[in-house]
């Protein structure tokens, strides 16, 4: 009987965690799509605002995750 109670608790926790991970994945996919749209827009607008590929600066930041580095592209207008 006690074992079934633990299984139910673990199943509930697993289901909750899975649900949250699905939400996070969905939000991440939306952000990636938005990032791609913004990058395409920037490519189209570069000639209009007079930017060259040489005008970009990159900032590298390490994260709390091993072997994960985030590169941010900065543009000065």
Characterize 55-69 residue by residue with b for buried, 16 or more Cβ atoms within 10 angstroms of its Cβ, and e for exposed. eeeeeeeeeeeeeee
Domain count, the chain: 1
Instruction: With a cut of 80, say whether residue 67 has pLDDT above it.
Output: no
Range of the domain at 65: 2-75
**Across 44-65, average pLDDT:** 66
Top pLDDT among 56 and 67 is at 67
**Across 35-64, average pLDDT:** 72
Structure confidence by residue, pLDDT tens digits, 3-25: 777 888 999 999 999 999 999 99
Structure confidence by residue, pLDDT tens digits, 37-48: 888 888 887 777
Q: Tell me the pTM.
A: 0.54
């Amino acid at each position: 009987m006690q074992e079934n109670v633990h299984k139910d608790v673990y199943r509930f926790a697993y289901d909750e965690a899975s649900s949250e991970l699905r939400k996070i994945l969905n939000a991440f996919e939306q952000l990636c799509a938005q990032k791609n749209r913004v990058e395409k827009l920037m490519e189209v607008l570069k000639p209009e605002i007079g930017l060259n590929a040489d005008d970009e600066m990159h900032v590298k930041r390490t994260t709390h995750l091993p072997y994960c580095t985030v590169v941010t592209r900065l543009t000065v207008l």
